Amino acid sequence: MIPFVNLTGQREKYRFELEKAEREVLDSGCYIGGHEVESLEKELSDYLGGATRTITCASGTDALTIALMAMDLRPGDEVIVPDFTFIAPAECVAFLGATPVFADINPETLQISPKSVKKEIGPHTKGIIAVNLFGQCAPFEELREIAREHHLWIIEDSAQAFGARTNQMACTFGDISITSFYPSKPLGCYGDGGALFTAREDLAKKIRMIANHGSAGRYQHKIAGMNSRLDALQAAVLRVKLRHLDEELAVRRQNAAKYDAFFAEYNRTAAAGEKIIPQKIVAGCKCTYAQYTVLAENREAFIQKLNDASVPYCIHYPSALQYQPCFARFHKEVLGGIVWTEADHPDPNSVKVSRMAISLPICAFTNVDEIIEKLK
């Protein structure tokens, strides 16, 4: 069976380098912080052009939580988040007692819609979390304009897009930017891990304190923080993989071009209502293709085809976030005493897309030619 992300193929290729790095950490006696973590943070900053400070932590979800804490988010504050993405951005806002407000997406690029963000701004709005969904950069020029006009901050969720770029690198767009090193991410470790990035020295200091029990010096706790650390073993693995990231991203882009050509041909002969529409990547964006996501006009029929051909797939994501039961209390209509269901609402793009979206394997160790052959 073809794996959705071929992590064993990747390990096989870098085995010598990985085993050497892993052994050095295990033999060093230093498992938290120290040389590997400090070196990784420097190398990540250098990769991003040098002006950005990097603070590693225990996961992408922690990174978002810490970023919001660094922005002093309080109960009663509102943060605008995309309605179609992984749950973490909205979840972290709710976890801190604030209110996630869901903005619709562009149905072609699948990114947060600046027009919808504008509509959702109110007196309690403090900031925007923009997600570089599936590895493509969100529309930051327009978002920055809006943020400037309304005195909002921007947190860039680049969990799926470390290494993407437009006119600048992903992870340098936000007041604070974050990424995830979850194993299947374009830059992944062998457990959980994450990082925050900021060009602002004051925020970098505060973030480091929050991630380390609110402490600037041993047993001096200025603020209430948390324990969120990347361990040395993960840092060592990431340092090896970072050296190969650009080669891998180049292969992912070649794989995407193969799929694009295949689906263009596929759609020429597809019956009405059976087309497969790849996520539109805006000209000038170098996407990381965290996965290859398409909109299938008839998703059930396409799933049948994938199953028949033994091609793995994932559904990113099966529901618009505003309809997740954990967020029901945030519906304005619920607050007004009326329970608002998906069926009552004229479909936002996020809902339409959640019924059509499906992702295919694309990593640098996936044989996309074989998948295309199976689908012919």
Ligand X SMILES: Cc1ncc(COP(=O)(O)O)c(C=O)c1O
Sole window of 93-101, 152-160, 239-247, 256-264 interacting with ligand X (rule: CB under 6 A): 152-160
Judged by CB under 6 A, which of 59, 65, 198, 349 binds ligand X? 59
Report the C-alpha gap between 118 and 211 in whole angstroms: 32
Residue 283: closest CA among 146, 108, 161: 108
**Closest separation between CB of residue 211 and ligand X, Å?**
14
For residue 68, give Cα distances in angstroms to 60, 63, 73, 143: 12, 9, 6, 18
Nearest residue (CB) to ligand X, 262 versus 322: 322
| Burial degree of 191 (CB within 10 A; 0-12, 13-18, 19+) | middle
**Closest separation between CB of residue 133 and ligand X, Å?**
7
**Closest separation between CB of residue 286 and ligand X, Å?**
18
Show the tokens assigned to 308.
């028949």
**Closest separation between CB of residue 60 and ligand X, Å?**
2
Nearest residue (CB) to ligand X, 291 versus 372: 291
Nearest residue (CB) to ligand X, 114 versus 193: 193
**Closest separation between CB of residue 90 and ligand X, Å?**
10
Residue 125: CB partners within 8 Å, gap ≥ 6? 77, 78, 79, 80, 101, 150, 152
Q: Is 278 in the site for ligand X (CB under 6 A)?
A: no
Which string of x and - marks every residue 98-137 that binds ligand X (by CB under 6 A)?
---------------------------------x------
Sole window of 5-13, 56-64, 98-106, 140-148 interacting with ligand X (rule: CB under 6 A): 56-64
Q: Is 7 helix (H, G, I), strand (E, B) or coil?
A: helix
Of residues 156-195, which lie at the interface with ligand X (CB under 6 A)? 157, 159-160, 180, 182, 192, 194
Of residues 81-100, which lie at the interface with ligand X (CB under 6 A)? 85-86, 88
Q: Is 56 in the site for ligand X (CB under 6 A)?
A: no
Contact predicate 268/235, CB 8 Å: no
Write the DSSP string, 258-304.
Answer: HHHHHHHHHHHHPPTT--EEEPPPPTT-B---SSEEEEETTHHHHHH
Binding site for ligand X (CB under 6 A): 59-61, 85-86, 88, 131, 157, 159-160, 180, 182, 192, 194
